[in-house]
Amino acid sequence: MLYKTLQNGDKIPVIGQGTWGMGGGLKPDYSQDKVALEAIRSAIELGYTHIDTAEMYGGGHAEELVGKVIRSFKREDLIITSKVWEVTFDYKLTIEALEGSLKRLGTDYLDLYLIHRPNKGIPLDATFRALNDLVDQGKVKHLGVSNFNLEQLKQAQALADTPLATNQVPYHLHRRAYVVNGVLAYCQENNILLTAYSPIGRGNLIDDPTVKQIAENYQATPAQIALYWLIRQPNVIALPMSTNKDHLRENLGALQLELPEEDVEKLDFIELPEEVLFPE
């Protein structure tokens, strides 16, 4: 596995395993638990040590599934990320959200704890007071945010007592809003990781003709090319999600690629419709 380094020197894998959709959407769905449990276990056995989840995923059931699997592995070998769903005026609610996530995951601490989404109507102050205290108590190692624009990211950075680890956002070859809005450049300038979720565009990138042609040239798959394009960028890591063991193994193949600059430029300047380039 390849790694990128946080500001305190801790390392995080450039490819992790996402869990959105495992255990349900916004509510628990237990019908596919066997598949989800096997996918998480297979990912760790293949070498994925960063597992990303959230209290919102499956109404907390995704965390429960992750918790069932990670008890079979050494906790210190894993990086577990979860997210608090609500920005709130109430300090205690954030504390309670973290305690709920820890209980469902069956762990004493989180490696990363993110604010899942900004709320324009509620300031970040109370939530960050709670998050800062959780770091002081050792229940959270690193703080981060998700889906924050540049202004919101700067506000969060000012309120965090420790350096922000990441801003987790939708980013892939066909979706570059966080390049256009300045977030990527700011993260790179300030040593904040940009964590790309949906890095293969929910599978849509595998049909892109440019991606397909480059993949064929190097006996790779379109998914590997899409991941390679992301993780070669400074301060960018990726969180693909799959319940298919072959796809999990395939995604790790992106780590072995080395494309010449001329092909990287083809991907950098891939033709995109305006609604894809500016989706927000």
The residues that are catalytic are: 57
CA distance 73 to 79: 12
Chain centroid to Cα 209, Å, comes to: 27
Specify the 3-state DSSP secondary structure of 170.
strand
Tokens found for residue 244: 């298919």
Are 94 and 84 spatial neighbours (Cβ–Cβ below 8 Å)?
Answer: yes
Tokens found for residue 112: 């990363």
- For residue 125, CA distances in Å to 11, 108, 117, 169, 215 come to 28, 25, 15, 22, 46
DSSP state of 235: T
